[in-house]
Amino acid sequence: MLSFKKIDETDLDLIKEYMKRQPFRSCDFSIFGIFLWADYYNYAYCIYEDTFFLKGLSDDKICDYAVPFGKMSTEKAIELIKEFCKQNGGIPRFYFVPEPAIEYFKGANIRKLEGWSDYIYIAEDLKTLKGHRFNKKRNRLNKFMRGCVSCRFEPITKENIEKAKEFFEVYLYEYAKDDERFAAESVLIRKALDMFFELDQIGGLLYIDDKAVAMTIGEIIGDTLIVHVEKALRQYDGAYEAINYAFANNNATEGVIYINREEDMGDEGLRQAKMAYNPVMMINKYEITFG
């Protein structure tokens, strides 16, 4: 029967292995999404019959479960969670369920999680910015490049990881918010940089005159490049467009069809910024409850 263990650093290799096998393009099913958010959501996992089970506490402090995946059929795995809840006095509630998995939850109460849909783009679109749909983004990028003869993009490596950490501290100093989510994200981005290579992340830095002005962190899961972190100093107009373009061209290589730029979390500014890149689809997510 199911027996859950709180996630810690000794579990990293196992999580990596199962993330290679998960079937979703959602950002939640990633090394960054599970390992780095483990403390915030109090994640615990279980491997049973070569199937990955995950539970945690959502923002309302109720125990939730992710869609299980692995060798076992999804229907059977869901039934095991329902039985686990029955034996332990909990409610079988599933959270951040990506839309393609809804078919496994027949007879359940389903509620869309507003603000948590992932924005998915065709990788080639963000690598080329071709066509009238991208006129504004292409113009902003070109203006930035024309005014910045000394700018360059570097992948994050062991040689410049300290520069990435320095950039993020500058970013925090300039744009810090009195907000719980911002504080939590800041902690995990620091951890992501500290464990960057152990976590198999990829990233990049944008420089102007040897000063880092933008940074991005992501990972490739299946056919999708997931952009987990994208930060820029706003006084450098066009820096966001430049880091986006450079990161896509450096990392959306053979086998990468889509780019996932994650959610807007209900922020109207983020929504407009993400829509401006013309997503090809949205991965809606749901809260699903039995009983």
Higher pLDDT, 246 or 148: 246
Find the mean pLDDT for residues 24-35.
98
| Arithmetic mean of pLDDT over the chain | 96
Q: Are residues 137 and 238 in the same domain?
A: yes
Find the mean pLDDT for residues 100-107.
96
257 pLDDT higher than 90: yes
C-alpha span between 120 and 99 (Å, rounded):
13
C-alpha span between 6 and 18 (Å, rounded):
16
116 pLDDT higher than 80: yes
Q: Are residues 12 and 75 in the same domain?
A: yes
Q: Are residues 127 and 242 in the same domain?
A: yes
Q: Is the dihedral of CA 8, 28, 252, 207 positive or negative?
A: negative
Find the mean pLDDT for residues 55-84.
94
For residue range 160-184, list pLDDT tens digits in order: 999 999 999 999 999 988 888 899 9
Exposure of 227 in the CB half-sphere (CA atoms within 13 A): 30
- Decide if 250 is inside a domain: yes
**Among candidate residues 71, 97, 116, the one where a domain is terminated:** 116
Q: What is the CATH number of the domain that holds 96?
A: 3.40.630.30
H helices within the chain, ranges in order?
12-19, 31, 38-41, 74-88, 123-128, 135-146, 161-175, 180-194, 239-251, 268-275
Structure tokens that stand for 202 in this block: 């990829």
pLDDT band per the 50, 70, 90 thresholds, residue 208: very high
274 pLDDT higher than 90: yes
Q: Are residues 105 and 130 in the same domain?
A: no
* Domain with 170 in it: 118-262
C-alpha span between 205 and 155 (Å, rounded):
6
End-to-end CA, the chain: 21
60 pLDDT higher than 90: no
Can you say how many angstroms the Cα of residue 113 is from the centroid of all Cα atoms in its chain?
16
